[in-house]
Amino acid sequence: MEKVYDTKKHCNGCGVCAKICPVNAIKMLEDSEGFKYPQIDPELCTDCGLCQTKCSAKSELKKVEGNFYAVRCNDEELLRKSTSGGAFSLIAEEVINEGGIVCGAVFDENFKVKHILSEDISKMRKSKYVQSDLDDCFDKIKVELESGRKVLFSGTPCQCHSLKVFIGENDNLIIVSIICRGVHSPLLWEEYKKYIKGNDELKAYDFRDKRRRNDAHTIAYTVGDKETAVTMSEDSFSKIYNKCLSYRPSCYDCKYCSADNDFDFTIGDFWGIEKFMPDLYDGKGTSLVITHSENAEKIIQHVKEKATVIECTKEQAEQTALKECAKESILRKLLFKDLGESQDGNKIPLILKKYGQ
Ligand SMILES: Cc1cc2nc3c(=O)[nH]c(=O)nc-3n(C[C@H](O)[C@H](O)[C@H](O)COP(=O)(O)OP(=O)(O)OC[C@H]3O[C@@H](n4cnc5c(N)ncnc54)[C@H](O)[C@@H]3O)c2cc1C
């Protein structure tokens, strides 16, 4: 076999094919845009086809209609530390209280985005708009499940689907899919970090800061002792994201832009809440939570003890990322061409100026 995927738009980089290859013929390698893809060693490949059968791009996702809720945690401190209404933490705490473990996306010590397994979810909070490296998390999840432990996985819908195909049905696995419009290239993020930190140390980065009570539409980061906080509409790096110029190719052909799926939960920002729950429109954030399973419904009933939970309709919860996927602009190719010529962040000012207007 030459390739696991037919086009890059059909590979989300989950790495399941590499994990299950019986002769270790597949390696996950970064391309020139910084996204990982499987590469087959033709010398080792026996054409068994297993990689094809476990590829989520080739597997149908069941469309299950869910129940819709607006959720906001009562704990003001937790609300401040969360991107939306704190739904992720509320759900994760239920699983941890039952002896479970959580897998979610964190910044590592170099502010690379990666998934880890832990009972401590503090670093998993907050959206990081860069593709997260799943590393060996799926194998670790399998081991935990085999020991009879509950595991909560939270990630983008494509990651959730890959995990579901890898593990199969398992009542102890709770899958929380994040509503997602697309993920920034890890390479662009690396170069951008080099640029903003210069010779100093990047100490903090928050894609969704809430201090200005503007529904977390502020970016805040600290380099050395200096903190910078700008609204997304003033921030060129955010504008590149919002214009969908830096996403993984599969984001432009995403089959998960729907409110219906068979994960346990779908969570996101409750955009448009001002139209029918004006009391919750105060810039502190509210989560949209969709439950698709009995397990999820049980958890949401427990969550009511620690949060405002209001049932709502599918129409009230509508937003673009649940209807259609991001459109690819001709500028995307040009951006990555410019990035390819960049060294040590020196092209980043040009990229920000050219594409982040
Ligand atoms: C790339 C991306 C795009 C998004 N796009 C939308 C959108 O279009 N519409 C919308 O309503 N919501 C979107 N969200 C979701 C939203 O920003 C919040 O993450 C979500 O509402 C959860 O908020 P919270 O307060 O419950 O949780 P928080 O406590 O803030 O938890 C954040 C959760 O997101 C996960 N996460 C963070 N970064 C990543 C990553 N890079 N990859 C995978 N998982 C990650 C963590 O594991 C954690 O579970 C997006 C999130 C991401 C990461």
Sorted by sequence, the CB contacts under 8 Å of residue 112 that are 6+ apart come out as 133, 186, 189, 190
pLDDT at 343: 64
Q: Is 178 in the pocket of ligand 1 (CB under 6 A)?
A: yes
94 plus 236 within the same structural domain:
no
156 plus 305 within the same structural domain:
yes
Q: Is residue 131 within 8 Å of 185, Cβ to Cβ?
A: yes
Query: Which of 76, 127, 184, 206 to probe ligand 1 with, by most ligand atoms within 8 A of CB?
Result: 127
pLDDT at 344: 58
Q: Is 179 in the pocket of ligand 1 (CB under 6 A)?
A: yes
Tell me whether residue 2 is in a domain: no
164 plus 299 within the same structural domain:
yes
β-pairing, 26-30 with 101-107?
Answer: unpaired
Tell me whether residue 348 is in a domain: yes
Last residue of a domain, one of 58, 79, 95: 58
What atom of ligand 1 comes closest to residue 270's alpha carbon? Answer: 11
165 plus 259 within the same structural domain:
yes
Q: Which residues of 212-243 are buried (b: 16+ CB within 10 A; e: fewer)?
A: eeebbbbbbbbbeeeeeeeebeebbbbbbbeb
84 plus 166 within the same structural domain:
yes
Tell me whether residue 152 is in a domain: yes
What atom of ligand 1 comes closest to residue 156's alpha carbon? Answer: 43
CATH number, domain at 54?
Answer: 3.30.70.20
**Distance in angstroms (rounded) separating the CA atoms of residues 290 and 260:** 9
pLDDT at 1: 79
162 plus 204 within the same structural domain:
no
State the CB neighbour count (10 A cutoff) for residue 91: 28
pLDDT at 70: 98
**Distance in angstroms (rounded) separating the CA atoms of residues 58 and 75:** 42
Q: pLDDT truncated to tens, each residue of the chain (357 aa)?
A: 788 999 999 999 999 999 999 999 999 999 999 999 999 999 999 999 999 999 999 999 999 999 999 999 999 999 999 999 999 999 999 999 999 999 999 999 999 999 999 999 999 999 999 999 999 999 999 999 999 999 999 999 999 999 999 999 999 999 999 999 999 999 999 999 999 999 999 999 999 999 888 888 999 999 999 999 999 999 999 999 999 999 999 999 999 999 999 999 999 999 999 999 999 999 999 999 999 999 999 999 999 999 999 999 999 999 999 999 999 999 999 999 999 986 655 889 999 999 999
Tell me whether residue 3 is in a domain: no
Q: Is residue 52 within 8 Å of 4, Cβ to Cβ?
A: yes
**Distance in angstroms (rounded) separating the CA atoms of residues 151 and 146:** 11
132 plus 274 within the same structural domain:
yes
Parent domain of 270: 67-183+248-322
Question: Is the Cα dihedral 154, 159, 163, 164 positive or negative?
Answer: positive
Is the entire prediction scored with pTM above 0.95?
A: yes
Ligand 1 centroid distance, CA of 171 (Å): 24
| Number of domains observed in the structure of the chain | 3
Query: Which of 95, 160, 178 to probe ligand 1 with, by most ligand atoms within 8 A of CB?
Result: 178
Ligand 1 centroid distance, CA of 267 (Å): 8
**How would DSSP label each residue in 254-297?**
-S--SS--SSSEEEEE-TTGGGT-GGG-SSS--EEEEE-SHHHH
74 plus 218 within the same structural domain:
no
131 plus 193 within the same structural domain:
no
Tell me whether residue 1 is in a domain: no
85 plus 144 within the same structural domain:
yes
pLDDT at 274: 94
327, containing H or E segment: none
282 plus 199 within the same structural domain:
no
237 plus 333 within the same structural domain:
yes
Give the per-residue SS3 of 176-187.
Answer: EEECCCCCECHH
